Structure 1
Amino acid sequence: MLNKPIGIFDSGYGGLTVFRSIAAQLPEYDYIYLGDNGRSPYGNRSFKTIHEYTWECVQWLFKQGCPLIILACNTASAKALRTIQQQDMPGLHTDERVLGVIRPTAEVIGNYTQTGEIGVLGTKGTVQSESYLIEIQKFFPEIKVHQQACPLWVPLIETGEYNNPGADYFVQLYLDQLLEQSANIDTILLACTHYPLLQDKIEKHLPQDIKVVAQGDIVAESLVDYLQRHPEMEERLSKGGSRKFFTTSDDTQDFDHHASMFFCSAVQSEYVSVK
């Protein structure tokens, strides 16, 4: 049988937190993970550039035989997914599908709040896109959403500084800025797949009655549901339990070191050029 893995894409390491949850819930499938570390971070780049980079990576995953690709990156989901689905794929990839992480999160996040007010922490790109405001409004029009960009969190995480005491200052800084927007926020969504590595610190700096929600399990449960509703796609996916990792960074040792922290197990990657 031809290898037809599920593709998982991120601009760097963060998508591995989503991949970890997906692989835990759907261990039998084959997977290819692609991190565009050679051009990360995406958070502060323009819509045009993020679309260009994401589409190149999606096409590379298609060439590897992936009929289904998950953009496990909030910035790519916010700034590139709609264009890819509506403009790039029609007529070229009619049998393939590309899914993001924003919609499945928006479909359930309203179930976590009692006060009806949610905080969203994300990259500058995700916040500026207002994708969460738009999507949550579709499913929970009564809920008030407050956003806060955290531009220094991804660099802290990717340089390995997030465990150091100095990181607490920047965690507190953005949490204070978010909570200043409303005293009624009782749920905070980590709308960047890097941020689960900071979750312990985030929770330490918050009142105990505020819930912190990461996306990994939400996206994994949504994918389980998607495959149940689309047996024609599920039947095309190969089931050998394999996991392959690729990066656009030529320093694969550095990628493997950092990726292992996100994936919570050893990672061995290969360098690839997607152009």
Structure 2
Amino acid sequence: MEQKSGPIGVFDSGYGGLTVFKELVKELSQYDYIYLGDNARVPYGIRSFETVYQYTLECVNHLFEKGCSLIILACNTASAKALRNIQQKDLPKGPALRRVLGVIRPTTEIIGELSKSGHVGIFATMGTVNSESYVIEANKFFPQVKVYQEACPMWVPLVENNEHHSPGADYFVKKHIEQLLQQSADIDTIILACTHYPLLMDKIREFLPPHVQLVSQGHIVAHSLADYLQRHPEIEALCSKGGRKEYFTTESVTDFNKKAAFFLGKEVGSQLLNL
């Protein structure tokens, strides 16, 4: 049976993935999108591989049911802990032209071009750090680049609870900057390898040495997706065009709408998805 065209799905464990979603819409505004935030079960970063895989698969399947043929995991933890299993175990069971892509590979494909010293720092969740995904993937493309990781377990809760601008956030931000930079004095680039972390960017820059470049992933993922669609016209043909956007959350619609509007700069109307 011929597959129908549908929106591009964008998934995140909470609303941090809106940092990627915003750039996708800016770069590829002609497409329809569905954003799904699993706010009821955030944070993913402290959960086991199996749990993250099960949660992510549930949400991916819901997006497939809503007509998506292409889904972006705008969540580093899900990309690190669930993407490979979904691609290898689950996608082959369904229609041929379904794709699930992550945010780690697009970043590591250019990681060597970002740093002059070849020493790159990673701020990420505990789950992403423990997976070693950035170290492994970066080594495939740029064996000469040294990657240093720092897990920041409090950063997602700070963002999700709207405390990321508070004085209380200073301690946790300064602590992890110092611990990362202690690993190498040559780090000249730091990647925010969690889609929640760009909301902390101003706070991070307060304590970061001025010569260190801070990189968020949204524009990287958007450029990568544009290239992917150009190289895969059979997938691009299944992405409907109309500029429509829908938002789903597994928790409070009111909270999601408020936070999403703050970040996107406009009012949004989300719908509740019961898992």
> Which TM-score bucket, shorter chain as reference?
over 0.9
Matches within 5 A, 1:141-156: 141-156=143-158
Q: Distance in 2 between matches of 1:60 and 1:93?
A: 15
Is the Cα contact below 8 Å between 2:120 and 2:147 reproduced in 1? yes
Q: Does 1:260 align with 2:264?
A: no
Which secondary structure does the structure 1 equivalent of 2:71 belong to? strand
Separation in 2 of the partners of 1:216 and 1:7? 15
> More deviation in 252-261 or 139-148?
252-261
Checking the alignment, whether the CA contact within 8 Å between 1:20 and 1:263 is kept in structure 2 is yes
**Amino acid in the other structure paired with 1:19:** F
8 Å Cα contact 1:6-1:32 kept in structure 2 = yes
- What corresponds to 1:224 in structure 2? 226
1:2 shift after superposition: 5.5
Amino acid at match of 1:255: F
Moved over 6 A (4+): none
Corresponding letter in the other structure for 2:30: E
Q: Counterpart amino acid of 1:63?
A: E
| Corresponding residue for residue 38 of structure 2 | 36
State the alpha-carbon separation in 1 of the partners of residues 93 and 4 from structure 2. 23
Distance 1:23 1:193 in 2: 16
Measured in 2, the distance between the counterparts of 1:3 and 1:135 equals 32
Pick the aligned partner of 1:63 from 62, 65, 71.
65
Match of 1:93 among 95, 98, 122: 95
Structure 2: which 5+ runs fail to align? Answer: none
Moved more, 254-263 or 1-10: 1-10
Secondary structure of 2:267 counterpart: coil
TM-score (norm 2): 0.97
Q: Aligned partners of 1:148 and 1:80: how far apart in 2? A: 21
Q: 1:25 aligns with which of 24, 27, 37?
A: 27
Aligned length: 273
AA aligned opposite 2:230: Q
Query: How many Å separate the matches in 1 of 2:192 and 2:63?
Result: 26
Do the aligned residues in 1 keep the contact of 2:190 with 2:215 (CA within 8 Å)? yes
Q: Which residue of 2 aligns with 1:16?
A: 18
Change beyond 3 A, Cα 1:39–1:91? same
1:244-268 CA-partner distances (Å, limit 9, x unpaired): 000111x210111122233333221
1:6 aligns with 2:8: yes
What residue in structure 2 maps to residue 163 of structure 1? 165
Worse-matched range after superposition: 19-28 or 161-170: 161-170
Name the SS for the 1:89 alignment partner.
helix
- 1:204: Cα distance to partner? 1.8
Task: Report if aligned partners of 2:19, 2:195 keep a CA contact under 8 Å in 1.
Answer: yes
- Taking only the aligned residue pairs, the percentage that are identical comes to 59
Q: Are the equivalent residues in 2 in contact too, given 1:260–1:267 (CA < 8 A)?
A: yes
SS of alignment partner, residue 93 of structure 2: coil
Residues 165-201 of structure 1 deviation map (CA, whole Å, 9 limit, x = unaligned): 2211211000000001110100000000001011111
1:127-146 equivalences under 5 Å are 127-146=129-148
Picking from 120, 125, 128, the partner of 1:126 is: 128
Moved more, 56-65 or 261-270: 261-270
Aligned letter for 1:194?
A: H
The residue that corresponds to 1:176 in the other structure is 178
| TM-score, normalising length: structure 1 | 0.97
- Describe the superposition over 1:94-114 as per-residue Cα deviations: whole angstroms up to 9, x where unpaired: 210000000000001211111
Aligned to 1:187: 189
**Pairing 1:234–2:236 present:** yes
Alpha-carbon distance in 2 for matches of 1:24, 1:18: 10
User: Matches of 1:232 and 1:94 in 2, distance apart?
Assistant: 11
Distance 2:231 2:203 in 1: 38
Residue equivalent to 1:76: 78
Q: What per-residue deviation string (whole Å, max 9, x for no partner) do you get for residues 188-229 of structure 1?
A: 000000010111111121111100000000000000000110
